[in-house]
Homo-oligomer: A and B are copies of this chain.
Amino acid sequence: MISLEQAHQFIEKRLAEIRFPEEPSNLYKPVQYILSNGGKRIRPSLVLMGANVFTDDLTPALNPAIAIEIFHNFTLLHDDLMDNSLMRRGRDTVHVKWGSNVAILSGDVMSILANQYIADVSNEILDQVLEVFNQTALKVCEGQMMDMEFEDRIDVSVDEYIHMIELKTSVLIAASLQIGALVGGASEKQAFELYEYGRLLGIAFQLQDDLLDSYGDSKTFGKKIGNDILTNKKTFLMISALENAGPEDQKELRLWLEKKQYDPVQKIREIKKIFDNCRIRELTTTKINDYFRSSLDKLNKINVEDQRKSVLRDFANTLMKREM
């Protein structure tokens, strides 16, 4: 069975082989740039790992995997523009380096390139794969729109939030596994079971990201701690605090959310104090573990030899232990 690390290497190798047209250079250089960002390649690796549950021949899964990675980076490119994020993985974002128009158009091109790569599956499963891919792509856009809309709202519920991260983050992880499974010869039912494993795992993963953003160790997490708090992000933690805090904390939390001028260190400290008062860390951890366990349940129920599921089981277990 292929390991996550091996899958990652296969993806990097295949990505490095792609030759984009030379002209118009302003269109394809940003594509090359963002695809060489040294990401973890989790989604395309999951395509290979999903296929590997059902077959040892992973070659047919390579181009669909590349499709997923190109699509994912297309969404990052346009999201960075919409959020006006200046940096990604330590480098200027595309719109900073080339301007908004190039960012829009290069993103559009990536979305089309993804369609070309995803279409490279056998004719017998082409319509199924396309249906999964297109449905998923729509959901990712819906999730991004909800995320943007939540910025201006203070009354987002936990259910709405979970639905949003399911759309924005989790369905693409799920679809990666499902498409890999279909390419690997799984039945529709089996492929959908793998989708469900991925969907629940993806929600757990995003909630964990929320938790680490406030309670992680900046060295192991790789980002500054407290960024979500400073940007008033309606994460699971913030929403739960707004729902659960007592009257005093409630009032103070809302004051912090409205304050325009503040000392960042103080804001992070004070809001985390409120989080602690309503045991947000424990609440979130419980929720994360619920999702991890449900995802493993789904995986266990898939009717294939147990050993073929070992890599995905390890993957979930490793994620679950991501360091605080």
Using CB atoms and an 8 Å cutoff, list the residues of chain A in contact with chain B. 21, 23-24, 26-27, 78, 81-82, 100-102, 104-105, 107-109, 111-113, 115-116, 119, 123, 126-127, 130-131, 134-135, 137-138, 141-142, 144-146, 148-149
User: What are some 16 contacts across the A-B interface (CB < 8 A)?
Assistant: A23-B142, A24-B142, A26-B145, A78-B104, A105-B148, A107-B108, A108-B108, A108-B141, A109-B138, A109-B141, A112-B138, A115-B115, A115-B134, A116-B135, A119-B134, A123-B127
CA distance A240 to B195 in the complex (A): 58
Whether B115 contacts A101 by the Cβ 8 Å rule is no
* Given contact pairs A101-B148, A112-B141, a sample of 19 additional A-B residue pairs in the complex whose CB atoms are under 8 Å apart: A23-B142, A24-B142, A27-B141, A27-B142, A27-B145, A78-B104, A78-B108, A104-B104, A105-B148, A107-B108, A108-B111, A109-B138, A109-B141, A111-B111, A115-B115, A116-B134, A119-B130, A123-B126, A126-B126
Known contacts A81-B104, A104-B82, A126-B126, A24 near B138 by CB under 8 Å: no
* Chain B residues within an 8 Å CB radius of A81: 104
CA distance A286 to B145 in the complex (A): 50
Prevailing SS type, chain A contact patch: helix
Q: Are B115 and A145 in contact (CB under 8 A)?
A: no
CA distance A265 to B248 in the complex (A): 68
Collect the chain B residues with CB atoms within 8 Å of residue A26's CB: 145, 149
Q: Known contacts A82-B104, A105-B144, A144-B105: does B138 contact A127 (CB below 8 Å)?
A: no
Q: Smallest CB-CB separation from A108: which chain B residue?
A: B141
**Distance in Å: Cβ of A276 to nearest Cβ of chain B:** 34
Knowing A105-B145, A123-B126, A142-B27 touch, does A112 contact B111 (C-beta < 8 A)? Answer: yes
Pick from B82, B101, B108: contact of A105, CB below 8 A.
Answer: B82
Residue of B nearest to A135 (CB): B116
Specify the chain B residue showing the minimal Cβ separation from A103.
B104
A24 touching B105, Cβ below 8 Å: no
Bound CA span A131–B115, Å = 9
Which of B21, B111, B119 is close to A127, meaning CB atoms less than 8 Å apart? B119
Residues of B within 8 A of A148 (CB): 101, 105
When the two chains form the complex, which single residue of B24, B107, B111 contacts A149, counting CB atoms closer than 8 Å? B24
Which B residues lie within 8 Å of A112 (CB)? 111, 134, 137-138, 141
